[in-house]
Amino acid sequence: MRLQVFCEDRLGITRELLDILTNQQIDLRGIEIDRIGIIYLNCPEIEFEPFSQLMSQIRQLDGVTDVRKIQFMPSEREHKELSALLETLPDPVFSINLHGKIDLANEAAERLIAKQREEILGEPIQTILGFNFQQWLENQAGEHRSEMVVISGLDYMMEIMPVFVTDDNEESVMASAVVLLKSLSEAKMPIAMRKISGDNGFEHLVGQSSRFKHLLSQAKKLALLDAPLLIQGETGTGKEMLARACHQRSVRRDQPFMVVNCVSMPDNAAETELFGFAGSATEPSKKGIFEQADGGTVFLYEIGEMSAHLQIKLLRFLQDGTFRRVGEEHEIKVDLRVICSTQKKLPDLITAGQFREDLYYRLNVLALVVPPLRERTADIVPLADLFLSQFAQELQQPKPNISDKLAQYLSQYAWPGNIRQLRNVLFRAMTQVDSDELEIEDIQLPENETTSIISDEILDGSLDDIMKRYESGILTNLYKSYPSTRKLAKRLGVSHTAVANKLREYHINK
C-alpha cells in the first residue's frame, strides 16, 4: 500500500511517522518527501482493522492535516508515465547512463535491434549502435549531436541529447543522455547527410552467404586502390550500389560520384554529355560529366553498350586524363577514377568486333564479379526482410513478417531478375497485404518449376540431405500449379500414394 500524508513542515514529524510503523511492525519499503509538505510511504498491504488503526494514529499526529491511500508513489507514477510515453513513440529511443550503458529502451528499439529488452538493458550503446559514447562525453558533453547511422541496411538520423537535472545547489548537472533514431529514405535524406561514416557505404549491402562475404572482402580492398575497376554481373544484381560503396570507401569519398548510363545515352549527345562543349556568342559553354566529377568517381553503367566512337574517346582519356570539349581545341586535364559495369561478356564483344580490346585492358585493371541471387540463396530472406523494412517506412504501415513457407519458397526460386526482381515483387505484395504476415499466396511470380541452384548452402550436408532438399523444392514449386495429389502424381508420372507420402514427409500443403 502507498500512503500520502499531508502535513506541516515540522522538525521530527517524519521520525514520528516511522515510529508508528515500527510499533505496528509494518515494514517500510520506501519513503519520498515533497517540498510542499507531503510525505509518501510505501508499505506492504495489511488487514482492514490494523489499517484503520494506522490511519487513525497518523491523523492524530501534531501537524498532520490528512492521510490518504494512493495507487503509486510519485517516482513510480513518473516512471510508468514515462514508460507509457516511450512505448507510444514510433521511433526507437534509448536512455543512456553516464557509463555509456542502456538503462531504458522502448518497443520500437526492441524491434529495430531484434532483441528482447532484457538483452538490451545494461549493454553498452557502442555495442548496439556503434556510437562512441565516452568520446562524446569527454569532447562534446552537453552538446546536442546528429549523425547518420546505418542499421541492418537502413538509414537513420541519430539524435544524441544530453539530459540535465538540478542538484541541491540549484546547479545544472548532466545525469544521462537520450538517443533517438529517425528513419530516413534516400529520397528524403538531405544531400549533405548522404556521406556515410563507419564502414563507408558497405553497411547498405546485406547478406550472409559465403559468396557475398567473399565479394565484400574483395570489394573493400579494391575500393582503396585508385585504379579503374570493372564490375561484372547479371542485370539487377546491385552493381551500381557496389560501385557507390567502393567510392564511399575510397580516398575520393568527399568528391562527386557521377553516373553515366551507356544504354540510354544517344551517340550524338553522349560526347557532349561526357566531355562538355565550347561556348558561343549565343550559348554559354558547358562542363561535361568528366569535368564535373574532377577529383571524384565516374561510374560507366553497362560499358558494353558504348558506341565505337565513344570507345576511342574514352581510351584517349584513360591514357593521360586529358580531353577536349566539343568544339574546343584547348585540352582539359582532370583527376578521377573510372568504375565500369557490364552484364555482357566483354571478351565475346571483342571477338565480335563490338568492343575495343585495348580499351578492355585499360578498364579491366581491377575486377569484381557479382554473383546472381540464385547462387547466394542464404541472402534471399535477409534481403527480403530489409526490403520490407524499407517499404514499411516509405508506406507508413506496419512491417509484415515472412512466413516460414514463404521464406522457403523465396529461397528456392531462381530469380532471373535478381535483387531488382525480388524488390519489385515484395513491393507489389506490400501494397496488397492485409495481415501481419506475408504468405506464398501474396507473392506473384512467373511459373518457374526448377531453380538449378548449386550453391554452398544447397550442397551442405550428406547426399541424402541434399537430395531431400532438392526434392522438397521441386514438390513445393509444382504443388502451386497442381494443388492436388492426383494432379501432381499425374504430372510427375508416379503413383498417387508416393506423392501423398512425399508431401506428408516434407510438410507441404496448400
Give 332-360 pLDDT, tens digit per residue. 999 999 999 999 999 999 999 999 999 99
- Which residue, 411, 348, 336, is CA-closest to 380? 411
Q: How many residues does the chain have?
A: 510
Q: What is the pLDDT of residues 378-414, one digit of tens each?
A: 999 999 998 998 888 888 788 899 999 999 999 989 8
- Contact between 389 and 154 (Cβ < 8 Å): yes
Q: Does residue 484 fall inside a structural domain? A: yes
Q: Which three cell numbers stand for residue 295?
A: 577529383
Last residue of a domain, one of 169, 193, 217: 193
CATH classification of the domain holding 396:
1.10.8.60
CA distance 13 to 7: 8
pTM of the model: 0.58
Task: State whether 382 and 333 are in the same domain.
Answer: no
| Res 199 pLDDT > 50 | no
Task: State whether 293 and 157 are in the same domain.
Answer: no
- Which residue, 348, 359, 367, 411, is CA-closest to 385? 411
Q: Does residue 451 fall inside a structural domain? A: no
Q: Where would I find the beta strands (DSSP E) of 302-391?
A: 322-324, 331-333, 337-342, 366-369
Q: Does residue 183 fall inside a structural domain? A: yes
Q: Does residue 456 fall inside a structural domain? A: no
Q: What is the pLDDT of residues 473-487, one digit of tens each?
A: 788 878 777 778 888
Q: Which three cell numbers stand for residue 16?
A: 514520528
| Res 458 pLDDT > 90 | no
Q: Does residue 457 fall inside a structural domain? A: no
Task: State whether 124 and 212 are in the same domain.
Answer: no
CATH classification of the domain holding 36:
3.30.70.260
Residue-level pLDDT at 289? 92
Q: Count how many domains the chain has.
A: 5
Task: State whether 184 and 206 are in the same domain.
Answer: no
| Domain that residue 473 falls in | 463-505
| Res 195 pLDDT > 60 | no
Task: State whether 209 and 338 are in the same domain.
Answer: yes
Residue-level pLDDT at 196? 38
Q: What is the pLDDT of residues 255-285, one digit of tens each?
A: 999 999 888 777 767 888 888 888 777 778 8
Higher pLDDT, 73 or 461: 73
Q: Which of 156-160, 182-186, 351-355 has the lowest mean pLDDT?
A: 182-186
Task: State whether 53 and 99 are in the same domain.
Answer: no
Q: Does residue 25 fall inside a structural domain? A: yes
Q: Does residue 474 fall inside a structural domain? A: yes
Task: State whether 419 and 301 are in the same domain.
Answer: no
Task: State whether 340 and 260 are in the same domain.
Answer: yes
Higher pLDDT, 476 or 55: 55
Residue-level pLDDT at 188? 45
Last residue of a domain, one of 132, 159, 193: 193
Task: State whether 341 and 382 are in the same domain.
Answer: no
CA distance 492 to 485: 10
CATH classification of the domain holding 184:
3.30.450.20
Residue-level pLDDT at 201? 66
DSSP, collapsed to helix, strand or coil, labels residue 202 as helix
Task: State whether 128 and 235 are in the same domain.
Answer: no
Beta bridge partner(s), residue 151 = 154
